[in-house]
A and B are shown apart, each in its own frame.
Chain A
């Protein structure tokens, strides 16, 4: 089976990215780069109030401004039955406000004009008469019986309560707590933050009034699902809708929902008969589109005196804003939060979640996370840290003692997940070694004697990513499979078309590598296409780390289908029996005779020119892959911090990350994903915050207030890997795009707590800013 030159660009090779050639030349094609003849521009008037009744809207002055083509209000949309739209969570959301505004920044009216600047000029000319109502900002107070009713338009809605949801076994868990030696508890708030991709959301809607063809160029992480939703929301015939998601400047979950701006621009193009462009400015993006987190959590852990975990009880309240617009599988109201038992063999657990409406922006998306896994991972890892503090155990030791053991996989968790594979002690040990843990503990002890604050944070996360299986997981009823179509041309070059959609993850390279691995066509010869619904098979899109687990699996499976057909053709060409044909790195040969091989290129040519009788021509196929299970990436992160007692400033000295995402297709790309996630995790832990004042004014509406990590303060990362393949994935891969955002916030915060726990400080909610740290130190008389 010797093949002299190993095929380059297969699984495991860090080949350079194909997509980079256009990006480094400024030749990417993002939505805002698209300009069509006769294109009009749209701007949105937003509510200045968090809660107010609309008495009237006067548009005459705006309408009269030269260059203004139309002013769209909720009243106009009502005539077209478009004033409200369904959300991804089965609720409704106002497209343009008709009765009330329910959050600051809510869409009230849209101006369509010949120029973007004119559309903006017209906004202040719209006169809206508001009757300001009390704003409900605190989700706990929102559930008080006397709280103002936010969703008074909803029939049967008598309070601001949205849902109650449970997982696990209450009775068994209560029993475990009753018998436990120790109970450790933690109240924790995971604050509202925002994915803030560098490119904001936008659309160019181009509807041909003669043919009804609707070409929608959109910042969409899920173009096929969006096409179906557009068909349902706008009543457009689905075969006439073509969603084109061109290059996307980062998504991180922000580009999963459908926003009012998309809907109005599309309606406007339909009504006016010209293309309409709408691109958010940064404030539009921060104040109105999919935020993340905003979970108030109480966790309790039952333990034995020896530090054995016996049970876990979690109660959480989700602040969903004015419309329940979370992007998550429909059966799971709190997403996949019930992965909260994490990496530990906890015999019983019970989770209950409630959701509340508040006068805040809607759209809980999973900012670089698989449906609330981040909140779960944060809670359990913070709780374990506090358990270690209370039990006077080393935070690494308590984890090692309670990890699910390698031999326990596949492991059924107390809340119902079946973990596919894992070796948690190995990842932990590697992190301990790479960090030099013992030496650092000695240094810490020395420093503590001198009154210096140094902390070592540990977090051992387990994620659940790669939804479906479709029978359990769906988005508004659409089962979460994904697809790949592979066409091999006569010259042996191929096009791979996918239902997922890259936003920077490098699909054009890594998915070509899967084809190279499975079929032997060099990655350079495989063109990967995504994002155009007319031109790719149906899929649910890219979010929740599902592209490699689902779309990647589909790619492997369709490649294997073609390989099977290639074997038939090879047998024909080699005048042998199909059963005797072997495949290795793009060559097909009779077992034992590798020197007389036919290459995949020769076979591709034969597929169109020289076929055995009865075999269909061509070498093409399509697969819709419904995964049998999720994948469960894991890892251990360790952070070293030094804290200035005079200022409360936390300096991250080291960050060691060991990730196990199964087989790595392109290690360079995987490492890049981890770097990015560790940075967003750092931002969330220390800087990023969207909050509100008592009147519901959004604080965090631009990058002056919503702080993102720059190169200056971002730590230098030390990344390492272990490889525990997924047993059910065709190439053993798991998702990795979000591991670092999921796992790292707890590591950063645990490092801070580790530095100050001896002073009696056991929690500081994120973002852990200098002023909060200093105040906590000061309260204990430990500030300088």
Chain B
């Protein structure tokens, strides 16, 4: 049995092992305290050495401490002799037993000034995960026969602490290293991400200048020509114009997708009148609708305000109404209607246009979801294949839903989305509806219709 005061020493040392903060030098700080406390508790040890081995039995790390504390295990002892294969003491520690050695001279360098005080060595196995991971050596001033079971038992308890400290040092050392590596990698990724963002921004601006020039001159050729255009030439120019507009939209939409996906978009919800917003947008698109002889209808009704980011909802509405206009035949109708269940407001945009095949309905909200079989080919529609994906991403960020119904090809389509009503309950948790941008806040490029 280990006496109570020794248990107190053990607990004190255990706490120390856990408290030492400088993790990479944990054992260097811990072992002198162990030697000191053991001697205070009545033992008379000249030095304490710890040898740690790797899986193949080779010495990995050594520690040494005595009262002068300025030598190393290699200077004072012959470490390899402790682990001499097949030796009596090696066999003992291999099986987890302590060995008491009298032949001090075989292990200790004769130059060690305190050698004359050492009369025996207590060699204790340090085990980790049921395997020998090292030995703890205590240089005793007493002879080998003057050893008690209690001394060995207490020594074995101490090896557990030494092992714990070594593991703490080991894991903390590598954890610190891994953490540092993760930080470095993260910083590098951030840097790359910023470079990419900057590149995308500058490139898209550089792209837009010549594209604007192309579009402007084609427009001039179509509308300000000083010679009458043949029907063919007019068709060619018109197609060039539409394609350039599509290219500009594509650059804008790709910028928007990149901003949404990298989290640079902010959602700042406010209470606002969705019906009034729809009314404004219908006014905005009226000229374009007139050109295509489309009838615009808003089935207004009195509704409570919704809680969303009105700029983003503006973008979504422009997108959905713009789509409806693209896929409507001349003379068709686009109607916006509302519905509420008291919690959400549904906004539905119904067109009398080309319609969608049932099988394609679920594919619509994916990136570049071009549908060969039902939707008008993208080239003539002027779409980018990104608008619905952008709308869905924004609606998701605002706690709403988007869905589509269609009776089939040529039977029109209805796109609906929902937004939360600015109820007392919603306003109380307003912060949950806000989305902060990661890093720099970037706006959405305006949707073109």
* A, B co-complexed: no
Binding site for A on B (CB under 8 A): none
Binding site for B on A (CB under 8 A): none
